[in-house]
Structure 1
Amino acid sequence: MSETTDLALLEIKPEQAPALYIANGLDAYLDQIRELAAEVPDVTTKKGRDRIGSLARMVGSSKKAIEEPGRAYLKQLKEAVKPAEDELRRFTRECDTIRDQILAPRAAWDVEQERLKAEEEARIAAEKLAAQIEADHEIALLLNEKFDRDAAEAKAEAAARREADLKAAKEKAEADAKAAQERAEREAKEAQERTARLAQEAREQAERDKQAAIEAEQRKAKAAEDARLAEEKRIADEAAARAANEAHRKTIGTVVVNALMGHAGLTRVQAIDVLTQIKDGNIPHTSITY
């Protein structure tokens, strides 16, 4: 069995943190711990098994001595970048608002163009209908003249019937003209209503899109805040657990020291030394249960 020198008490000072907690910055400490782990105690003896426990505890103590200041340094770094994250979030939100304000006139212009286009199409359709009505009216007038000529030439023959036919044709032409005018007016009104509806729908959709973007940003911010709070709780819980364990160990140590002083007649210094030797596994067949 070969033995190595025990690890010296590790202590990381705050000013060392930036140079240590970087890529491969802790290699020197790892090399010391690996050198300690290279020792091979004799597992068949009580002393060897105790030595294995002591080596494991030294590795745990070293890990704790390196990890705790590292966690504290990491927390400082996170607190340092939080204002930058908040400012970037505010900046992007304001940029989105400015962008929407910039796009608003164009969106309104597009809606107005659609309305004008619909009105123009309705006007053209109305003009075509009016032209058709005028043509039908002229045909009706020609028919009237023809009927008049026929009546004059044939004199009284079938005058009553032709007069009725003429009246019916005239009434039909007027009815067709009226129907065409009403249809043109109705289509123009429908086009205007459709344009207004499209404009309103466009405004409502823009508002929904804006609200959805705001809600998405709020959900993203809440998720980030929840993650931050969870991390802080985890760190606080770990610190509390470590503090409770340390307090428990100190309480047990105090009880042992007091017992050694009261029952073994040792001074406080001697009792503490005995406790240390027992904890380190240097006194065979003895141990402390925490």
Structure 2
Amino acid sequence: MSAEQKLIAIEEISEDNAPAIYVAGGLQQFIDLVKGEVLGEIPDLKTRKGRERIASLAAKVSKSKTAVEKPGRDYLRRLKEMPKVVEAELREFVTKMDALRDETRRPLTEWEAAEDARIDRHNDRLNWLKTLADDLGDQTSLHIKGLIAEAEGMQLGAHWEEFEAEAGVAKDKVLTALRAALTKREAFEAEQAELAQLRAQAEAREKADREAAIAREAAEKAQREADERAANERAAAARREQELIDQAAAQEREAENQRLQLKLQAEQAERAAAQAEADRQAALRQAEAERQAAARRAEEAAEQARQDERRRADAAAAEIVRQQQARERDQAHKIKIMGEAKEALMSMNITEELAKAIVLKIARREVPNITINF
């Protein structure tokens, strides 16, 4: 290559010197020139100024390419007799300049790709965190406590880089929503348990009242029957006593010659009256004993009803505890199954956060045609 060609700058290309430039190998000087300018620097990718400098150098390559290509295209149109030579040279030049541009920009392109991937990873973790408070609907308090534990277990720190502040805000917001939902759900569950207990107590009281009423009626009936028997016995004794008195009075009107017999009959009547009184007293004592027995039976029935009520209340409370324990065992089982599914996914080189997000989506039936068997 002559000294004249080496002295020509890109901006000095003209129609006059085009024949000396657009020849085989004639454009290599400009490739070397631009390459020396752009590859002579090693900008710092860690600074914004350095990244902007790389983009500027790549743009300079494109600008230099255009500055050489345009006059060459003009010269080619004038030189109809040399189209193949010039076109081949230009194609090679454009290819090399494009390659040089791409090579010049490659560190920035790679940095941008890595930066996008890094930001996507942070955004994925943020999205997972934010979805913990979604669709709480009919979730149990135990399930919500599990979500709170997951959110609380997410550590903040330098690994979040510039997303740490946003992650902290999102974590606080999610925990606030989850704790509010937990308070509301616990209040609802407590209210339902209390309502169930109150219903059981009301039913037990109604039954106890019915049984106590039956016992009272039985006691009252027994008392009435005892009183009636005693009254009948007293009436019978009075009638017998009256009959004896009437008989004694009739005998007194008998003749004197019958006095001894009347006296004997009077003594007999007196003995009979004493026996009647004894019978009357015995009947009264029997009636009182039957009344007391009826009262005891009524008291025993009432005590039995109270014991039955206590047993029913204890059984209802035990059933509530059993159901709560069953729900807790079921929730623990589900957490275990989901944990095993997550570990299986992580064994395929999937991150824990992504594995957890996949398992949660499947468990919520957000992935068609895939379920988790609990």
TM-score, structure 1 length as denominator?
0.49
Q: Larger relative contact order (C-alpha < 8 A, sep ≥ 6)?
A: 1
The structure with the larger Rg is 2
